[in-house]
Structure 1
Amino acid sequence: MKLKNKLLISQIIVFLTMFITLNTVLSKIVYMTVSKTDCENAMTLNEQIMTRIDQYFEELERFTLVVANDEMLNVLIETYNKEPTNANESKIRLYLSGLGIRDKIQSYAVLGIYVNVQNSKKELHFTTVGLSSSLKNYVQNTIPTISLDNTTGKFIDPFTYDGDSTTVFGNKFNMAYGFISPYSVNQMQGSVTVIASFDQIIYIAENMKDYSHDYLLLDNQNEAIKPSVENSKIDITKALSHLTYGKSYKEGFFKEKDAITTVRYSDYGEWKLVCRLTRADILKNNSSLILLDQILVAVFGICVVLIMIPLVQKFTRPLSKVSEQMGEIARGNLKARVVVKSEDEIAEVGRAFNIMAKKLQENIDKMLEQEKREQKMRYSLMISQVDPHFIYNTMNTITYLAQKERSEDVIAVNKAMIEILKDRLRVDIKNVFDTLEQEIKVVEQYLIIQNYRYADTFKAQINIQDEVKTFYVAKNVLQPLVENALFHGVLCNKDEDGETIGGCITINAIQANTDILISVKDNGIGMSEQMLEKLEEQSVSKIRGEHIGIRNIKGRIRYIYGENCSFIIQSKEGEGTEVIIKLPVIRENGGNIDDIS
């Protein structure tokens, strides 16, 4: 690691140590400072939420009393008492269902109305339309347990019920509560019960989540109604018994070691809203204050580091220059030198470095020049060589045709061989490209010779786009691919008796944007996946034969085009092989071996 970086890292470590220490102390200071304020804010929020809940309690009580004192309802019940018909009962149920709408009660405020009166003969029950049987049964079982003596009414504790409860407005709820009020019509006594959704009360209480996740809504028996968390940490008995009252007798708080519990009493039914603020909750609620303090500390530390950076650079700059130039040498820039302006120890290192770099450059230049000459010679020999087996087999073919006195065929084969030899002899040590059209002509001459040698054994199809014929490609790439397809694909495709089945070789060439795609495909014997993997992995493999094969072709185009080409082999055993090469488009013969090497 560089000296400059070591010094900077040391500064950063010191800064981070101070920053972490201050943050640890900062959280304690913030908690001690704002815990009282947060307690007051929590009690204020409790008051606001309980006020909203009380509005629903008040509305439910008011509406129940409205129903109990409704004159029209009295008339309808008296009529039914005199004439207990289904029609009169339906009128009562419809009238009860319409009371909420006429009184502009919210749809979620009333789930149903249950009227219970006792005449001289029997007990009468009337409900709103759509009141579920589960709610009706619950009310019937609850009414006998409630004493209404000397009261205007009482609340029914919240309860859950099974099945759908559908109000006249079409809403569905899961939890309900109610208010029951005495009711009398003429000589008949009873009660009116209005069932409302308790889900809305729970929804209002959930606003406490903005301040704390641990809160409870308690009934008159101090039983929690649907706790906000499964394992609440609130000690109800301890909090209520050690309560410190706030601004009024309806609110208070209880302080623990790392938490504060606040309590708010309802004006109705002895309901209570209890909230527990932990240290984490208080710090979260004051995260903006903590963040501001952290930013101030961070800005101070960053300023110190920024001031120290130029000072460190001033002292380490001469050594950094030497290090930079050494890095340039490592990246291949042998012309890198150090400018020496002083006479100290760093200057001596710089002068020694300059001498070393100069000698290194001279030695590498000599090695590169020698390597370039050797590469030129190797490549020229590689692309100009003609397979002696090919010459031998061609001469045998000519001899055979001459013996059969097929002079025209002898001339055709001889002419094709001459064209191939002329093409190989046209190779210049600095010119390794030719048009695709010329390469196709060489392939055609090669196929003429092989057609005479293996008559009626294979067919060849050549599909070349007209626009790509004038493009330049590396010489002697296409013909070896065709040779491999013939000898190691088509001619190896034999039946059970060892007779050659033959096949077809297809040559395609198209332009794809700025590239040429050349494909040589045969439907011969193909290769297994294992053989194909071995061919890809072993650069010196001779799986496809000992002639100018896949290995040499792949190495040749890599040598010429570098990373601007691709060589893909696709094969399936018994179905054939396809070789696809992608080469960049060259429209003019600019193929110079010096530019490549």
Structure 2
Amino acid sequence: MDNVKFINSLRFKLIAITIVLILFPIILFSIVYSSLVKDIISKKYSESAIQSVYEAGENIDFILNDIREFSNALLANRDMISALNDKNNMDVVAFRSLLRSFFTSREDIDAIYVYAGRRVYSVGVNKVAEMEDYMPISKLAETDGEIVWINTRREKIKILAGEFDKYYFSLGRKLIDFNTLEELGLLTVDIDEMILESSYKSLISGDIEQIFIANKYGEIVSHPDKSKIGQSIENEVYAKEILAAEKKSGYISFKDQGVKKIAIYSTCDVNDWKLVKIIPYWYLYREIDEIQWKLIRIGVLYVMITSFFMLLFSLKITEPIINMMKLMKKAENGDLGVQIDTKGQDEIGQLGMSFNTMINKMRSLINKLIEEERHKKELEFEVLHAQINPHFLYNTLNTIRWMAKIQGAKSASSALTALIKLLMISINFGKDMISLEEEIEYVKNYILIQRLRFNERFTIDYNLEEACLSCHIPKLILQPIVENSIIYGLQEEDAKPLNIEIKAYNRQDMLIVEVSDNGPGIKPEILKNILKSEKDANKFSTVGLNNINQRIKLAFGESYGIKIFTKENHGTNIVVELPCKGEVLCKIEA
């Protein structure tokens, strides 16, 4: 009866579901890993091993090619060719000194031999046996001057009072005077076989692997086990296919005494030597298999531990946590009015109270930030707007001063009347937005004053669509642009007459106002900094174009503002883009 009750309990169901949900992804992962992931990893691992062998083969190619170039340098040396051409009068000491200079220039060369007639000249290690004892001189003499690579052999060398075994491979070729094509003798260069081994030694990670270099006839010329040097691989299962391979690098799979193996090879371009690495498949993928077994063991252990903890804490822990998670999710989605019902006094209850406190503080902080941002924007807008007044007032008063000086007091009344109208629009009793028609009227009053100052050296045309005159825009955005056109277009006494045109039209629900002139334009070094937030150098300050741009962006967003199109000595076109919707909607008649 107790067993039936336990089976029907929520705790048992929760534990059973948990175990199933844990086991299912583990089993699914194992199947996917075995059938797909393992194959991919194995392929990548094989490609990595092939690439390592290829890179080692490239390294060997570089070594052999470097030795070949060294022999070319010997053949091209004029002093050597001259000495060999005049064997009877050869200065033997000087010739050996010449050979020694070549020998000491290389650390990877152990000996250099030159056979000229019956004489042998050599520098390098002191060998017990003479060259004729192991080198088919007659066979080398039958060549036409091409390079012959002589297989690695064991030699005894003398060092102080002792004799030691060492393995060398050699480069051999005829010495030919390229001017007369006369055969002057034979050259051999001995190189320590350890140089070859060092190029692939990093690929050896255990005794299971085999790696060696064989020539195109299958004779081993380098091997970590020196006793195998000189042996042939022709009878091996993989040998025929590798020796006949035309590809630069690759691999073949084969079975050796029932064991599946892979032979990876890379071909040296210089002499068709093959670098071969043989690895059993099980050894190549041993780390992958170890990872798979570790994952299985971790999965089983995880199921056992999870089941144990679910048995202890299933109902009491999960239910309040799930309820809390739901409320937290609502808060995450923006509902900051949630509150957790904290009945208990344990850790979960304390967590609920902390969550409620956090939500209350977040609401308070968000409201505070919204209010601060609104206030900050208002202040910024007021500061930017206020910058216009002192700048403009200075220019206006300066104009009146020049007018009074030149013309006396006759035009003062007109100038002061225009100034009063300008100041009334500027103050405008706290209104930030005025109609385009009012802004144009403001510009006309400003032009009246400037005509008196500049003696009517400029003209201004208005090309305004009737439907756009009722659009509401931030006040005082056109006057600074016109001011720039006049001041910098007429700053030279002999400047040509200035023509200014103001256009307004609607384009794709956007109000476009253009102020263009035929003035001197804006220099590139000034143009690139003119709309930056900081104060710019030269004549355009933040009180002018930059001020207008910032005010528009503060009011309507980053999508709006001013654009400047100018070419030095060919005029300037300032394009003001404003929204034409909502409060600033252009009332275009159908």
TM-score, normalising length from structure 1? 0.42
Larger Rg computed on CA atoms: 1
TM-score, normalising length from structure 2? 0.43
